[in-house]
């Protein structure tokens, strides 16, 4: 959000999961640019990003304990996630379970730790997906996991709203990230097509005719944590260039 003050998050303390990924790293950078003290965590530790496996309860608790050293927690953005593509008929149970473990159980574990530690008046934002609003062929595991995340947002909004903790979900469509590139390459392989034709098909279905930039997701996260979004709660915000209007 271009009209969010550059110091809108000054003095706030945030934990960002998936902070080494395409979207997560943009969120981590944006929060710091807007004045927040941040701990970024990811399955793969690199640079100033600490290690955390969101599907493991002990690992999540350790991450939140480490963040407490920065001060009283005010904001959590849960961006960690994974994807497995394929038809239901061919998918192995362990593949489906792994997506649920990371995307859905991971969201629960992060949410549980967050609401136990967040100050009243804090924020919790989930990076969900357009796939959680509408599924499609070959996306069953991912769509099912993100649909569960969206229902978790609904429930948490009721539970922690009385404390003034605002919980929202962002549902991006296609975003220009390494994970999207891998997914498109896999789809091209499964459909005996080219990466260029698969991407062109997706772009043609987006009224804005392009993928989102990670920074556009990050700016919405900053807005949701700021006072400008003080009455936005329990929302699932579709950030898809208008794709679901079609």
Active site residues: 142
Per-residue CA distances from 218 to 26, 56, 154 (Å): 6, 25, 22
1 vs 222: CA distance, rounded Å: 8
User: Taken in order 11, 15, 19, 25, is the CA torsion positive or negative?
Assistant: negative
Per-residue CA distances from 142 to 128, 137, 145, 148, 178 (Å): 10, 11, 5, 10, 16
Q: Which distant-in-sequence residues (6+ apart) come within 8 Å of 125 by Cβ?
A: 75, 76, 77, 78, 167, 168, 169, 170, 221, 224, 225
> Looking at the DSSP assignment, which residues form a beta bridge with residue 171?
238
- Which own/partner pairs from 88-96 qualify as long-range (CB within 8 Å, at least 24 positions apart)? 88/140, 91/140, 91/141, 95/141, 96/140, 96/141, 96/144
Specify whether the CB–CB gap between 167 and 235 falls below 8 A: no
Could you identify the residue written with the tokens 């229902």? 151
């Amino acid at each position: 959000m271009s009209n969010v003050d550059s110091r809108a998050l000054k003095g706030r303390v945030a934990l960002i999961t998936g902070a080494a990924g395409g979207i997560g790293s943009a969120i981590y950078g944006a929060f710091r640019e807007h004045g927040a003290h941040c701990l970024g965590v990811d399955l793969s530790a690199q640079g100033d990003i600490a290690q955390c496996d969101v599907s493991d309860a002990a690992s999540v608790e350790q991450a939140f304990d480490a963040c407490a050293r920065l001060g009283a927690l005010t904001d959590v953005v849960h961006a960690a996630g994974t994807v497995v593509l394929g038809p239901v008929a061919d998918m192995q149970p362990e593949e489906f379970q792994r997506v649920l473990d990371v995307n859905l159980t991971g969201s629960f574990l992060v949410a549980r730790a967050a609401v136990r530690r967040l100050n009243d008046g804090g924020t919790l934002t989930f990076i969900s997906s357009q796939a959680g609003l509408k599924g499609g062929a070959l996306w069953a595991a991912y769509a099912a996991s993100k649909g569960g995340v969206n229902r978790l947002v609904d429930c948490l909004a009721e539970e922690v709203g009385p404390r003034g903790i605002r919980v929202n979900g962002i549902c991006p469509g296609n975003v220009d990230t390494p994970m999207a590139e891998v997914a498109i390459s896999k789809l091209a392989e499964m459909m005996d097509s080219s990466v260029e034709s698969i991407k062109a098909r997706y772009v043609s279905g987006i009224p804005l005719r392009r993928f989102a930039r990670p920074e556009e997701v990050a700016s919405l996260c900053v807005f949701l944590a700021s006072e400008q979004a003080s009455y936005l709660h329990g929302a699932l915000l579709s950030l898809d260039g208008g794709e679901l209007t079609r």
